[in-house]
Amino acid sequence: MRFRTFSIICGLAAATTTIAWGQQPAAPTIPETTVNPTPQPSPTDVVLDTKNDVVGVAQQIAHAQGLQTRILWMDAGANIGNLNSEAKVADIIQKVKASGINTIVLDVKPIVGETIYPSKFAPRLTKWTNGEVDPSFDVLGHVLSAAHAAGIPVFANMSTFGEGHKYVKRGLAYTHPDWQTVMYQTDRSVGRLGVTAPITYLNQLPKDDKGLGALTGQGLLAQNHPGYTIVVLNFDARVIAVYDGAALADAHVTLPLRGSALAGSGPMGDWLKANAIPGEIMTYQSTAKYVPIVDVPEQKITMFCNPINPEVRQHNLDIVREVVMNYEVDGMIFDDRLRYAAINADFSPLSRSTFEKHVGHTLTWPDDVYRESEYPGQAPILGPYYQEWLNWRAGNIQSWVAEASSIVHSVRPKAQMAVYVGSWYGDYEKVGMNWGAQDFHANYTWLTPEYQKTGIANLLDWLTTGCYYANATVAEANAAGTSPGATVEGAGLLSNRVVNDAAWTYAGIYALSYQDNPAQFQRAIKAAVGSTQGVMIFDMSQIVQYNWWDAMGEAFGHTTAVAPHTVDGLLAQVRAQHAADKAAGKPQPEIPAYQGIEDTGF
């Protein structure tokens, strides 16, 4: 692959055979470019992918004109102590301005569902782990006033379908339990000759002697576990070997392909010794159950609500209307809770009845959508309506975005719409949200023509993706022998390609990823603005903690820049040129051969 260095001024998915839940497609040919970027001076410490970083009309125009978005995200909870007085707000805005940042995202309704301004629809956020604010101090109002005086636009962020935080056990999802999303879970057991034992943990050693743990990865098998009995089974549940956990590391156990291991202690360990006979086949059994998210340990932080619950939808639309009517925000942005909790959400009676109405008849539930395999760690069994389920869920999110957009533009015609999402599009169908352009097509098995129509990029002015990786560039990852997709640049390139000129695309980076390494933080900024049309930096709390204001300024070359989304009519020009290229029969650019890591940025 050819590389070139790229100036900070201008600004995930390996190609493979697809499977049911998403892999990166093979790449088509590269089209002719419509705009030639202006050559830029090149720093010596960042080398970018010359093949992919000039793809797309939006990328070419923004870089050619020297446009660059520089967003600083202000999380509500993490910054409550940084924004709790007029003097602190004024000081922060002065530092933001001096660092070269040209856009602020202010979190006005975080995961807990409380607001940083007086709301008629939600409780007030006045205290978090690192500070508190007087209820009479309107954080949104004061930040808007100071930022606008400094010429910096402010976008108000909402955690849309997150209405509670499990760490503090607060939020409307607790007081309105019927709002909670319902997760499809599986009760598993294993047995032989009619004698069974429950499997109570997946990929964990059981924490008690009341059930077994099913292990589907090598990690836990490389260590000794005194007091446990470990049984290794083939893909068809045939027992291969039984081990004493105290000597497990010395046994150098390797799981067979699609196989698993069972672990038990105390009575459960004795049960394994008595019933797991090498050479014999055991029997797995499973039963579907439907559990509110509050009782699902794997969902550790956010109390997701059902996106089709009318009260949940209206509550969030009420917040949108309240913000744009009462505050001169420059736009609204909706973060990564604008989605379903996971592939196994929502399986509530409401979702079942609504989906059955959508398809026109009663379904066998959940089998007609999908059923978890009885065998731990093996692929689910997809039902005949699985693809329609994906389409329907993504359509539910799209319709809410369209409603929110209508409210925003009816109240403030010039206000803009944006979202934050994870950058790993190749697996994003699992969370029920399609952030791509409606004309983006690739060889993902789930990206059918109907699924394409659920894309929301066409409803947005800009979009930022969580490219939250320690490695900045593809070249850096190649030199280290690590995945090029798990880089800021690789994720940014894929993000830009998926959005496909429907909106401006900005790569998001996480300051915490570079703690004690400001030079790498600066390289990440350069990789972000080289691979997309800008950068979003999360979160201001780390910038304050590390005192990285000057580090940001240095990364931006101590220059100012105009954000492309602030240039009137420019996005329309990008879309028009894209449409003209398409009408002229120009082939789509290739899909960058980079795949990120699922759940990064969540």
**Average of per-residue pLDDT across 214-220:** 92
Same domain, 331 and 408: yes
Are 69 and 506 in contact, with CB atoms under 8 Å apart?
Answer: yes
The answer to whether residues 167 and 189 belong to one domain is no
In a domain, 375, yes or no: no
Q: Residue 8: is its pLDDT beyond 50?
A: no
User: Do residues 207 and 273 share a domain?
Assistant: yes
Domain assignment present for residue 58? The answer is: yes
Closest CA to 189 of 175, 199, 179: 199
Summarised one tens digit per residue, pLDDT across range 544-557 is 999 999 999 999 99
Tell me: pLDDT of 460 over 60: yes
Phi, psi angles (nearest 5°) of residue 350: -65, -45
Is residue 353 situated within a structural domain? no
Please state, for a pLDDT cut of 90, what percent of the chain lies above it: 87
Write out pLDDT tens, residues 219-229. 999 999 999 99
Three-state DSSP state, 298: coil
Residue pointed to by tokens 């942005």:
333
Confidence (pLDDT) at 592: 80
Helix, strand, coil tally for the chain in percent (to 5): 35, 20, 45
Tens-digit pLDDT profile for residues 567-601: 999 999 999 999 999 999 998 888 887 889 999 98
| pLDDT for the residue 593 | 78
Based on the fold, state whether residues 36 and 107 are members of the same structural domain: yes
Q: Can you give the pLDDT at residue 129?
A: 86
Between CA 49 and CA 118 the distance in angstroms is: 47
Across the chain, what does the average pLDDT equal? 91
Q: Check pLDDT > 80 for residue 3.
A: no
Task: State the Cα angle at 418 between 415 and 424, rounded to 5°.
Answer: 175
pLDDT higher than 60, residue 31: no
Half-sphere exposure of 537 (CA within 13 A, CB side): 34
Q: How confident is the model at residue 18 (pLDDT cuts 50, 70, 90)?
A: very low
Does 162 map to a domain? yes
> pLDDT tens-digit profile of 237-251?
999 999 999 999 999
Q: Which domain holds residue 277?
A: 182-292
At 578 the pLDDT is 97
**Distance from C-alpha of 508 to C-alpha of 487, rounded to nearest angstrom:** 11
Q: What is the CATH number of the domain that holds 12?
A: 3.20.20.80
525: nearest Cα among 549, 559, 486, 556: 556
**Residues 57 and 135 occupy one common structural domain:** yes
pLDDT value of residue 21: 35
Please give the pLDDT value at position 601.
87
Which tokens hold the place of 522?
Answer: 């600066």
The answer to whether residue 372 scores a pLDDT higher than 50 is yes
397 and 422 share one domain: yes
Same domain, 70 and 9: yes
The pLDDT of residue 32: 35
pLDDT tens digit sequence for 306-338: 999 999 999 999 999 999 999 999 999 999 999
| Percentage, residues of the chain above pLDDT 70 | 93
Task: Determine contact, residues 73/107, Cβ cutoff 8 Å.
Answer: yes
Return the closest-CA partner of residue 580 out of 568, 592, 570, 572.
572
- Say what the pTM is: 0.90
Cβ(490)–Cβ(596) below 8 Å: yes
pLDDT, tens digit, 9 for 90 and up, residues 381-429: 999 999 999 999 999 999 999 999 999 999 999 999 999 999 999 999 9
- Tokens representing residue 443 in the block: 């060889």
Looking at the structure, tell me whether residues 192 and 171 fall in a common domain. no
pLDDT digits (tens, 9 = 90+) for 96-144: 999 999 999 999 999 999 999 999 999 999 999 889 999 999 999 999 9
Q: Which residues pair with 199 in a beta bridge?
A: 188, 212
pLDDT tens for each residue of 60-94: 999 999 999 999 999 999 999 999 999 999 999 99
Last residue of a domain, one of 260, 292, 324: 292
Q: Is the pLDDT of residue 25 over 70?
A: no
Q: 320 and 256 share a domain?
A: no
Q: Kind and range of the H or E element at 418?
A: strand 416-422
595 within a domain of the structure (yes/no): no
Indicate whether 283 and 411 sit together in one domain.
Answer: no
Instruction: Give the model's confidence band at 527: pLDDT under 50 very low, under 70 low, under 90 confident, else very high.
Output: very high
Question: What's the pLDDT score for residue 588?
Answer: 84
Q: 197: Cβ–Cβ under 8 A, 6 or more apart, which residues?
A: 189, 190, 191, 211, 212, 264, 268, 271, 272, 275
Domain count, the chain: 2
133 or 3, higher pLDDT? 133
Higher pLDDT, 29 or 167: 167
- CA separation for the pair 164, 450 (Å, rounded): 33
Q: What is the model's pLDDT at position 438?
A: 98
474: in domain: yes
In a domain, 540, yes or no: yes
What pLDDT shows up at residue 130?
80
Instruction: Give the model's pLDDT for residue 45.
Output: 77
- Domain CATH for 203: 2.60.120
Q: What is the pLDDT of residues 137-187, one digit of tens each?
A: 999 999 999 999 999 999 999 999 999 999 999 999 999 999 999 999 999
The dihedrals phi and psi of 449, each to the nearest 5 degrees, come to -55, -35
Tokens 């002229």 belong to residue? 584
Query: In terms of domains, do 545 and 402 share one?
Result: yes
349: in domain: no
226 and 249 together in one domain: yes
Per-residue tokens: 492: 């940014």
